[in-house]
A and B are shown apart, each in its own frame.
Chain A
């Protein structure tokens, strides 16, 4: 019984990141992304989920690598170009390793609007 609980606690710690020494705050990122892959129609839901992760982790100054960019990308898919650019820039400012990629992403933003509209077309182009 005790061993089972102990194993559960360890597993919980590993899974939720509540173990000591977690550098970043992730919220329910894994669940949110997986659910989005299962339901590609739910772009709004995924966007809201990322918004929450970004807001919460920003308060603690523990935004994980790539999180600003993931959020920026979904904003781009929603047609929110100015907002997308803001978050790509935040990613670049926070993570020097991202600068080549973010420069490319920002550069592409100014060239064209998103190729796909949310919902119908993007679902059709998903598998």
Chain B
């Protein structure tokens, strides 16, 4: 079965958020507002989870939320490849490199570092629960100082809408669980996690210069 067809089948089993734990206080945005970054350099994510391809999911799904939030986002794949060519062949090395020099190289106002702290799928007979935790750290490209930080665990379960027939639902649920275990489609889940982290009031990122709410959301960020 071709990858595309497999992917299409898996796409039917989309993930829906059931809840997220926000235990952190509101973020303090003074430094962010002062720096007023227009552009964000997003570098490959460090992986501290058991999901081996979590960094691929992350990198493929972070650009859209950040760009739609109103920032210029450098092309993540091109950036990743150029960093590799420069000898920064893994994410830990990139994260250890000097932020200011990195930002200067690309002409970026800010650099976003993400580490994937958790990515656990629990397979139960009728459903799969996935817990993801991304630690986001945005640093000023000119000073290396922190502009924004967010770290939240989010829990997702695949949706399986009820048909009204309990036996059919049972089978559908088992099929979903089996399919997600076989080759989980984490692209929508990862997109949603990034989207929520970036847009959540008092925890996400203020609207950027290309967004209609730019500098109009001072009550939320």
**Taking A24-B68, A38-B3, A101-B107 as contacts, is the C-beta distance between A30 and B60 under 8 angstroms?**
yes
Docked Cα-Cα span, A65 to B142, in Å, equals: 22
Chain A residues with Cβ under 8 A from B195's Cβ? 14
Partner of A22, one of B3, B63, B68: B68
Contact with A along B104-139 (1 / 0, CB 8 A): 011111000000000000000000000000000000
**Taking A8-B159, A14-B191, A73-B81 as contacts, is the C-beta distance between A34 and B60 under 8 angstroms?**
yes
- What secondary structure prevails in chain A residues at the interface with B? helix
Chain A residues with Cβ under 8 A from B74's Cβ? 65-66, 69, 98, 101
Stretch in contact with the other chain, from B14-22, B146-154, B172-180: B14-22
Taking CB atoms and an 8 Å cut-off, the chain A residues in 1-42 that contact chain B are 1, 4-5, 7-8, 11-12, 14-15, 17, 21-24, 26, 29-31, 33-39
Chain A residues with Cβ under 8 A from B47's Cβ? none
Docked Cα-Cα span, A39 to B53, in Å, equals: 12
Chain A interface: which size bin?
A: 35 or more
| A100 at the B interface (CB under 8 A) | yes
| B101 at the A interface (CB under 8 A) | no
| B83 at the A interface (CB under 8 A) | no
Docked Cα-Cα span, A101 to B188, in Å, equals: 30
Closest B residue to A7 by CB, please name it. Answer: B16
Chain A residues with Cβ under 8 A from B16's Cβ? 4, 7-8, 11
B72 in contact with A30 (CB, 8 Å): no
| B165 at the A interface (CB under 8 A) | no
| A54 at the B interface (CB under 8 A) | no
Docked Cα-Cα span, A36 to B76, in Å, equals: 13
Chain B interface: which size bin?
A: 35 or more
| B216 at the A interface (CB under 8 A) | no
A28 to chain B, nearest CB (A): 9
Docked Cα-Cα span, A39 to B56, in Å, equals: 12
Taking CB atoms and an 8 Å cut-off, the chain A residues in 30-81 that contact chain B are 30-31, 33-39, 64-67, 69-70, 72-73
**Taking A37-B53, A100-B106, A100-B107 as contacts, is the C-beta distance between A11 and B60 under 8 angstroms?**
no
Chain A residues with Cβ under 8 A from B192's Cβ? 11, 14-15
**Taking A11-B17, A29-B64, A37-B56 as contacts, is the C-beta distance between A66 and B75 under 8 angstroms?**
yes
| B39 at the A interface (CB under 8 A) | yes
A31 in contact with B106 (CB, 8 Å): no
Binding site for A on B (CB under 8 A): 3-4, 7, 14-17, 38-39, 53, 56-57, 59-61, 63-64, 67-68, 70-78, 81, 85, 105-109, 159, 161-162, 164, 187-188, 190-192, 195, 210-212
Binding site for B on A (CB under 8 A): 1, 4-5, 7-8, 11-12, 14-15, 17, 21-24, 26, 29-31, 33-39, 64-67, 69-70, 72-73, 91, 95, 97-101, 104-105, 115
